[in-house]
Structure 1
């Protein structure tokens, strides 16, 4: 029986489930009674469409028309929806419009393109440059140069086999000798290392296994969204999370089409906002997935002065070069140059070809006589100076591709006249020469390359090089300025309630490098940097076999944040750390001796006997870690926006970067603890009184008064609910505690939802308010 379609509605709270073969729809359905009792309104599902067999994440979609069979297929999804409805829950689904898996044997659309070439009806699906590489689509799948591995290629009827890879043969070519047969195909299997410079298809960042999809084409949009829209229409799904819209040709146009096709369903987008950047007001979405909220929440529990002291100590301890981890801006800039000339070299090549075609084909003399190398240099210099993910319109471009950036870019040229290429490129990007198709393509590809560059150079490189405070190196974070003042936090929340009241908020996701509880522990180090340095001096004095200072600093912080854990988890995370940093080893140029030294150091140091001192230090700070953990959770759950709770994080949840944070969760948690009680209280209150937190709600900062006022952060929602949390509790204890600090309450009688026997009226002594827990959630029960 098909569920009835519900009117578009805003969730009160969502709960993210990471579906995978080890946790299919049936497992999700079994968890529904517990999750309903927790207080959420919707389950937030990772991608549900057919993906590469065995995929643990589902973002490698191969068929948009089918629900993933490994999860239980469409029958299983509909059964989950029915079970959820029976318990008062809806479903939100993650969708992936930007890319599909480059897996021909599983991706039928791609298979047809390989077989029929650019004349295939599916060719319009993929962003392929057929004019490059002699009209063949490069497939970077071979383990070595063709001559070294040609014996491993086999013709089997009308198929070409290479180990586990399978490709269709162009009709009439199956009887040709192998070298001629390869030349006759619409594709060319090549050594995987050629992906860096020779690829002729757009991909997801620098991941060659994910090929870009052209959803800007209406027919492609319809074909790739038909099943999801059907599930929305039939009431199986209620809303959407859109993965990485910045990779699309025109995110705004795509979102407008999706909004219309979905009937205006609640939709959030995975948009990473830089400091001071705002979500485009024209986008018809509820808001972002919440990384901007994560940054503000984390920053609230970091001490600015201590963070500065910690950074100074890090520089003395690790002694990194300025642009290799010593200074944030220099490190990010160097990482950007490296990514453009290595991982994204093929994207820059294509962008340069487009720019040269525009200039050489123009009738305007101002655009002529621009050498490809000069255009490439201009594009690179402007790209590395872009401080946001991408521009969306020419007006946007004028704001973010500034004259100051252009002046700096011109300094890369020794001959001033050649530096004029910067002005030409900038004017083209700002639309000053018109809107012919070639110029639109240049602006589009610049924006798409910019988003890939930002992700790869900042989140995936610089964040692993500049490591004074690991909790600040999170998506959307500002490692150079990790702290957020209460005033700035309240200002941010007021803007959310005014402009994006139904936006998403998160503190842990499947993509966070460290879970919120690990980051909450690390934030305490900003309150005692001198003790952290003293501890490191003790555990590292005379220690041999330390690969490098930056890795050692990051490793010790990792075990402090994580607490006692399986050494294998720490080793895996830190090996990923050094490969992403790319200073001494990388994913594509691995250095076994260095990586072996890293593994040995982790085992013998942070996870060995010396690490026990770090564990003891963490235990000593546990009350202050607990204050941050509970404060982070309660703030996220009650601030403006729709909170998303990542699987398992209602209880204390310590996880590192994926795949560590994508392990199937247990329901209910084995040890729920006080955090689960706080989480459930907040979620149930939101569900019971949605008007207090919803789109028409209000947000009011409540300042405390007294000697420790700055350590109490409180706010009221619609005059009916008050959240109060302890900030920088270690500094507070050193300063003598709360003493006579009081919190004035709005009119009425207030009951503590975490302890209903406690009531307040008029004001509350903060020492009493936080007598049992470092947080409080008050509800007004009488006017």
Structure 2
């Protein structure tokens, strides 16, 4: 029998919330109704990691979380309460640094390292200076200046040596140690040191990747190091001579430079990373290096511990982070499924509007962003969204469409942060063109521009074409053709034949070994282009209604009809009924209740417009040199409405992150201090303005109740629609947190346990609603829905049915209703501001039978009067209804 969760609860583990802390809330989660705890990655991460995605050792459990012992205690506690476990895993990349022994071995031994095949490194760069070298862009200034300043030094650590730059250190290549040992031998006239130096110099070639030679080199190196260590321990004068040699090299810039040039890495100014980095990263994060997960030995080594937990029953499920970064996601999931058996497998696949998860992937679904964005669109008011567009243009003066902005932001990211990725792709395509006499005269510059343009025109994260399996779908063909045609329209100055040829390579019409390599790498490239250009840039720039600016979302949408919602749910039940659904994650831009309140704002565009104009005039005097700009000001006001009452400290930190992500006035790499200081001063003055705060507070009060209703509506949809619902830590109460790290703040579980105990004591629905401000109604919906799912998983599983329920009457567009497995009915309102207090004779066709409202305790007879029941009566005591048909 499959071990599929009926619900999950996401926990963000870190040194401030360890395995023992997680174990301590197991009883609460059980009481809440959760069936599975869903943990952030907990294999050994880089020191101080707050998220776990920077894994440095796949064989160990994170020591800062409690290590193996803490993990055992945690797992035993979960078993004690009958809770299962799902783990987030990270196959795409590892973190660099001293704790990553595999990476340290690569830096020490270069292409001859036992682990060189693990990492996606270009050892054959077109740049001669980077041949058989890895660029390490960490220096604070130009290399020569840093070297002359004395900030780079050689240090001895027993029989081994390292190069140090402040807190950074790197191993020294064995062959380069010959110069240190030779110099020490001269000081001492010691034959042993001379022999060791000669032996180091004779180690096999660094670019040898023959497995036998690699092992031989490793063996010889270990023996030589042991001899050096013995010589140091037996003769004090040997150690003194080596120390003297190290001091001499550190004192001589030329000697130190010569030693550095012998390494398998090149220390460089940090700004060089954008154009010259020779390894694939996670997006543009230099400290996260891509893994060659397509290689069986890498898969086996990195998944051994995880699969052991699956086979031992410790894990019931796995959530795979960023599968689009992998060279061949289909191959990866096939291997994982073969090893993990019937485990529940979820992929963090970001689906763009209109895109569906590949049915060929042997997994259960996505991590739920698609469902979240469906809810966002369902609750926003279409007419209000259209009016918001005009309001936004008038206030900011911006008329650029979202699609054009996305295109521009993608190009900027490709030219700057992802420039090195473009250069590697261009080198490959130059070789392809050189092998074709009809294409050989395209220049490298043209090819770079064409690659950037085609990637910028992709409307989805990536395609999944694989030449060696002759694998391409019509969906992929259409996307490639659309992107190529789009690129030709944008760049009519580039020969259309180059775009066509690139399209031929991407869609398997032109094949070869180089062509296949380009195709696979291009597909890995479009994913970070989308993520960095859209979600991490455009979503902070296009601010018409920021509640729609979520991962995989469509900020320019004018909403979704109830019929479209039903169509989405029916499709999911038919294709991926066990997909994860969510309303908030560790990556969402803002909490679900921030979005719920902002959705209510779309119902009153006229009030928003007048408030915006009033605030613009009122607060103009609070600016410094007309800063911040109007677009930032617009974004700020919406953020304050959605997250109110947010503290000034939280808002300052969030807005600084937001404007740096936007990269318009300032950025992480080029900080505009004048703008940032003006923004911080402006926010500070807003909090001191009694007139503005009172006005803001009045508008928030106008939409606050509607925001609560929207929250309860989306929460009930979340727990009863097709899929397995996940609750982000603490989100069972009103959640007005913003993007990470704001959403990693500690959760008060003692408070939640007390509130849950109060609910379970028999509090009536009317009393629960009187405690609305505390979040008690949301907790009640979460608890009752979770308990129902736990008690009757068959009503929500793969074999259950999904049927829309008919709503009739003048307010029918305000209601969403459906039936699961013929036994559970869900009824929620939307657009509560425009709905007002009356449903004006609108009715629901509830099937025959006696139904119990789990949220109010009422018993309802269905099927009478042609099955139509007044929605006004059904929602009299509680804003949403969860009805269960009683057994005959």
> Does TM, scored on the shorter chain, surpass 0.5?
yes
- Post-superposition CA distance 1:203-236 (Å, at most 9, x none): 0011111111111000010111111111111111
Residue 208 of structure 1 aligns with which residue?
Answer: 286
1:93 is aligned to 87
| Distance in 2 between residues matched to 1:246 and 1:413, nearest whole Å | 27
CA distance in 2, matches of 1:536, 1:382: 39
User: Which residue of structure 1 lines up, in the alignment, with residue 215 of structure 2?
Assistant: none
| Alignment check: 8 A CA contact 1:401 1:426 kept | no
Per the alignment, in what secondary structure is the counterpart of residue 292 of structure 1?
helix
The 1:616–1:775 alpha-carbon spacing in structure 2 relative to 1, beyond 3 Å, is same
Query: 1:152 aligned to 2:151?
Result: yes
Point out the more displaced range, 382-391 or 71-80: 71-80
Paired residues for 1:233-272 under 5 Å: 233-272=311-350
Which residue number in structure 1 is paired with residue 416 of structure 2?
Answer: 342
| 1:390 equivalent in alignment to 2:466 | no
- 1:134 maps to which residue? 131
3-state DSSP class of the match of 2:683?
A: helix
Residue aligning to 1:420: 497
Q: Is the 8 A contact 2:5 2:316 kept in 1?
A: no
Instruction: Sort the Cα spacing of 1:185 and 1:488 in 2 relative to 1 into closer, same or farther, 3 A.
Output: same
What does residue 459 of structure 1 align with? 535
Give yes or no for contact 2:477–2:507 (8 Å, CA) kept in 1.
Answer: no
User: Does residue 793 of structure 2 align to residue 715 of structure 1?
Assistant: no
Match of 2:15 among 8, 11, 21: 21
Q: How do residues 454-603 of structure 1 correspond to structure 2 at under 5 angstroms?
A: 454-542=530-618, 543-544=620-621, 545=623, 546-603=627-684
What does 1:322-401 align with in structure 2 at a 5 Å threshold? 322=399, 326-360=400-434, 362=435, 364-393=436-465, 394-395=472-473, 398-401=476-479
In structure 2, relative to structure 1, the CA distance for the partners of 1:415 and 1:779 (3 Å cut) is: closer
Q: Out of 371, 376, 392, which is 1:298 matched to?
A: 376
Larger Rg: 2
SS of alignment partner, residue 353 of structure 2: coil
The alignment status of 1:164 with 2:167, answered yes or no, reads yes
Q: Distance in 1 between matches of 2:592 and 2:79?
A: 30
| Offset at residue 460 of structure 1 (A) | 0.5
> What is the CA–CA distance in structure 1 between the aligned matches of 2:292 and 2:576, rounded to whole Å?
29
Following superposition, the deviation at residue 311 of structure 1 comes to 1.4
Work out whether 1:629 is the aligned partner of 2:711: yes
- Measured after TM superposition, the shift of residue 524 of structure 1 is 0.8
1:116 aligned partner: 109
Q: Secondary structure at the match of 1:135?
A: coil
Deviations 1:732-782 (A, max 9, x none): 11xx72021111101211110011134332242111111122101001114
CA deviation vs aligned residue, 1:643-665 (integer Å, no higher than 9, x gap)? 01000001111101110011232
TM-superposed deviation, 1:442 = 0.3
After superposition, the Cα gap between the structure-2 partners of 1:359 and 1:164, relative to the gap in structure 1 and judged at 3 Å, is same
Gaps of 5+ in 1: 1-6
1:317 has 2:395 as partner:
yes
Which residue of 1 is the match for residue 856 of structure 2? 755
Q: Give 1:691-710 correspondences, 5 Å limit.
A: 691-710=794-813
Q: Provide the C-alpha distance between the structure 1 equivalents of 2:486 and 2:721, rounded to a whole number of angstroms.
A: 41
Q: CA, structure 1 residues 17+292, in 2 after alignment: closer, same or farther (shift >3 Å)?
A: same
1:330-383 Cα offsets, whole Å, 9 max, x none, are 1111101111111111000000011111221x3x43443332222222212211
Distance 2:688 2:349 in 1: 36
Tell me what 2:27 maps to: 33
What do you get for the CA RMSD once the two structures are aligned? 1.5
> How far has the Cα of 1:612 moved from its partner?
3.1
Q: 1:641 to 1:131 in 2, by over 3 A?
A: same
- Is the CA contact (8 Å cut-off) linking 1:268 and 1:504 kept in structure 2? yes
SS at match of 1:209: strand
The 1:656–1:607 alpha-carbon spacing in structure 2 relative to 1, beyond 3 Å, is farther
How far does residue 409 in structure 1 lie from its aligned partner after superposition?
2.4
- More displaced 10-residue stretch of structure 1: 665-674 or 32-41: 665-674
Mapped contact 1:527–1:730 kept (Cα < 8 A): yes
Which of the pair is proportionally richer in helix? 2
**Which stretch shows the higher mean deviation, 530-539 or 402-411?**
402-411
Q: CA deviation at 1:437?
A: 2.7
After TM superposition, the score normalised by the length of structure 1 is 0.96
Shift, 1:170, TM fit: 0.5
CA distance in 1, matches of 2:559, 2:687: 27
SS, match of residue 749 in structure 2: coil
Q: Is the 8 A contact 2:4 2:316 kept in 1?
A: no
Q: Counterpart of 1:659? A: 741
Q: 1:674 aligns with which of 768, 773, 777?
A: 777
Distance 1:287 1:419 in 2: 39
The equivalences for 1:209-228 within 5 A come to 209-228=287-306
For the 8 Å contact 2:386–2:558, the answer to whether it is kept is no
Aligned partner of residue 646 in structure 2, secondary structure: coil
Q: Residue 273 of structure 2: which of 195, 211, 227 is its match?
A: 195
Q: Is the 2:848–2:861 contact (alpha carbons within 8 Å) kept by the matching residues of 1?
A: no
Residue number among 745, 767, 772 corresponding to 2:877 in the alignment: 772
Q: Is the 8 A contact 2:856 2:878 kept in 1?
A: no
Moved more, 252-261 or 387-396: 387-396
CA contact (8 A) 2:43 2:55 kept: yes
Shift of 1:525: 1.1
Deviations 1:234-262 (A, max 9, x none): 11111100000000100111011011111
Query: More deviation in 145-154 or 633-642?
Result: 145-154
> Could you tell me how far apart the structure 1 residues matched to 2:491 and 2:570 are?
46
The whole-number CA distance in structure 2 between the counterparts of 1:90 and 1:528 is 44
Structure 1: distance between partners of 2:417 and 2:120:
18
Output the CA distance in 2 between the equivalents of 1:577 and 1:499: 37
Q: CA deviation at 1:439?
A: 1.4
Distance in structure 2 (CA, Å) of the matches to 1:349 and 1:263: 41
Alpha-carbon deviations, 1:376-404, whole Å to 9, x = none?
22212211111000000233674344445
SS state of the match for residue 256, structure 1?
helix
For residues 11 and 693 of structure 2, the distance between their equivalents in structure 1, rounded to whole angstroms, comes to 33
Distance 1:87 1:482 in 2: 45
Query: Shift of the alpha carbon at 1:30?
Result: 0.3
What secondary structure is seen at the aligned counterpart in 2 of 1:656? Answer: coil
| Distance (whole Å) between structure 1 residues aligned to residue 705 and residue 486 of structure 2 | 49
1:551-580 deviation line (CA, Å, top 9, x unaligned): 111101111001112111111111111111
- Residue 620 of structure 1: how far off its partner (Å): 2.5
Q: Distance in 1 between matches of 2:555 and 2:7?
A: 29
Q: Which residue of 2 aligns with 1:282?
A: 360
1:519-559 per-residue CA deviation (whole Å, 9 max, x = no partner) reads 00011111001101111222221422141111111101111
User: So what's the TM-score if we normalise by structure 2?
Assistant: 0.85
